[in-house]
C-alpha cells in the first residue's frame, strides 16, 4: 500500500517539480489535493478511490495512474501546458479503468466438442 504522500510525491515528479531522488517540499505536496482528484474520478464514474485516500492506504496498482491524474489536474498550478495535462490525465484514467477490468472475474467458457 502507498500513502497519500507517496502519490503526491509521484505526481510532483511527473510534473517535473521534483527530480528523481529529491524530496518535495511541504507546500508543493499540500498543493496536490488527492481528495479532489478522487472525487473527480468518482463524479466521472471511473472509480471510487475516496476511501483509500481517506484511509491513507492507496493500492499499489493505482499509485502511478492516480498520480498521473493528480498531476494533470494540478498542472496549471505548476505551469504545465493544457494539452499535456489532458493527454496525461487520459492515460491515467485509461490505466485505472484497465486495472479495474482486469480485477473482475471472468466466467469460464464452456466448450462442447461434437465428434
Domains of the chain, by residue range, sit at: 4-102
H/E element holding 95?
helix 82-102
Global pTM reads: 0.85
Q: Which three cell numbers stand for residue 90?
A: 487520459
Residue ranges of the chain with pLDDT lower than 70?
106, 115
pLDDT for res 61: 92
The Cα–Cα gap between 24 and 86 comes to 24
Size of the chain, expressed as the number of residues it contains: 115
CB of 67 closer than 8 Å to CB of 14: yes
Which of these, 34, 32, 22, 20, lies nearest to 77 by C-alpha position? 32
pLDDT for res 22: 84
pLDDT for res 84: 86
pLDDT for res 1: 92
pLDDT for res 113: 79
pLDDT for res 23: 87
pLDDT for res 44: 94
Amino acid at each position: 500500500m502507498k500513502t497519500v504522500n507517496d502519490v503526491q510525491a509521484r505526481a510532483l515528479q511527473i510534473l517535473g517539480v521534483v527530480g528523481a531522488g529529491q524530496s518535495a517540499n511541504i507546500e508543493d505536496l499540500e498543493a496536490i489535493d488527492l481528495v479532489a482528484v478522487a472525487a473527480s474520478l468518482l463524479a466521472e464514474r471511473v472509480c471510487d478511490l475516496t476511501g483509500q485516500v481517506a484511509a491513507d492506504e492507496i493500492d499499489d496498482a493505482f499509485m502511478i495512474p492516480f498520480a498521473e491524474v493528480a498531476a494533470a489536474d494540478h498542472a496549471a498550478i505548476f505551469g504545465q501546458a493544457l494539452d499535456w495535462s489532458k493527454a496525461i490525465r487520459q492515460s491515467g484514467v485509461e490505466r485505472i479503468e484497465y486495472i479495474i477490468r482486469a480485477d473482475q472475474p471472468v466466467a469460464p467458457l464452456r466448450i462442447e466438442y461434437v465428434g
